[in-house]
Amino acid sequence: MIVLKLGGSVITDKDRPETLDAPALDRAADAVAGASDDLVVVHGGGSFGHHHAAAWGVSVDSGTDDVEGALAVHGAMTTLNRVVLARLHDRGVSALPVHSLSVGARNTDGVLDLPLAAVDRMLAESFVPVLHGDVAATAGEGVTVVSGDELVARLARHLDADRVGLCSTVPGVLDGENRVVDRVSSLDDAALGESASTDVTGGMAGKVRTLLELDAPAHIFDLDGLPAFLVGETPGTVVD
Ligand code: IPE
């Protein structure tokens, strides 16, 4: 079982609101269609989610109780999700959407409660569930952002994933001289930069922190590495 995240910056032009990077999405969809294992896909927000989230002041810890704001973020993400699904369907992948807003909730402790019976059943019936960064109702905050990375962690634990992959715009975790680090086992192992574009959910350091807490080995790589990852190879950086 593989849990794969397609970073929002990979499949969209992160600096132009609601703009797809269509060639990149096509390459990602080609690779997913060639995967040799059971797969759950999560995609990020890129220029679809983050601009709306920033405009409405919504982040993982700080929410809005304005329904217009909630739907601005969620609607942009479901629009992107439909495009991702269509690209996968074009290649014969039996992809089905799973929207966290409909079933997830963030409790007072900030932890996301996300029932996954639908994901389990879809997998058992040979579908490929496709989740996405979203918003979810949150105690005392209205709705807050649910990041794709958070969903990856939740799915990896629940499904006891063998491998986790984050397809990013960089070829792995980079050291101070921009070389890919082969393995990261602690936050001290690399000089971790923050993402430069609008990103309400935390950059590379946040990703590595989340991945270090997982049992499954996680891999960070770019689009060039994605086909190799999906057939069992180890491009980029292993975080374990
Ligand atoms: C974005 O999810 C969620 C929203 C802003 C709604 P991610 O935080 O996982 O997206 P990327 O991959 O960084 O773009």
Query: Which tokens belong to 77?
Result: 């993400």
Residues spanned by the domain of 184: 2-239
The two structure tokens encoding residue 151: 């969903």
pTM of the predicted model as reported, rounded to 2 decimal places: 0.94
The CATH number that applies at residue 208 is 3.40.1160.10
Task: Give the distance (Å) from ligand 1 centre to CA of residue 47.
Answer: 9
Q: Is 149 in the pocket of ligand 1 (CB under 6 A)?
A: yes
Ligand 1 centroid vs 7 CA: distance in angstroms?
A: 8
β-pairing, 218-221 vs 237-239, is: antiparallel
* pLDDT tens column, 36-69: 899 999 999 999 999 999 999 999 999 999 999 9
pLDDT at 190: 55
**HSE on the CB side for 75, CA within 13 Å?**
7
pLDDT at 194 over 50: no
Tracing tokens 């984050």 back to the chain, one arrives at 166
Which residues pair with residue 218 across a beta bridge? 164, 239
> Ligand 1 pocket test: which of 130, 201, 208 has the largest number of ligand atoms within 8 Å of its C-beta?
201
Contact 2, 161 (CB under 8 A): yes
Q: What is the mean pLDDT of residues 85-108?
A: 97
Q: Evaluate: CB of 148 within 6 angstroms of ligand 1.
A: yes
Query: Any residues with CB less than 8 A from the CB of 125 and at least 6 apart, and which?
Result: none
Q: What is the residue-wise DSSP string for 70-134? A: HHHHHHHHHHHHHHHHHHHHHTT--EEEE-HHHH-EE-TTS-EE---HHHHHHHHTT-EEEEE-E
Domain count, the chain: 1
* Contact (CB, 8 A) for 22 and 11: no
- pLDDT band with cut points at 50, 70 and 90 for residue 15: confident
Cα radius of gyration (the chain): 16
Please work out whether the CB of residue 8 comes within 6 Å of at least one atom of ligand 1.
yes
Contact call for residues 145 and 201 (beta carbons, < 8 A): yes
Dihedrals phi, psi of 47, to nearest 5 degrees: -80, 0
Model confidence pLDDT, tens digit, residues 103-121: 999 998 999 999 999 999 9
* pLDDT of 91 higher than 80: yes
Q: Which atom of ligand 1 is nearest to the CA of 53?
A: 5
Across residues 15-40, what is the average pLDDT?
96
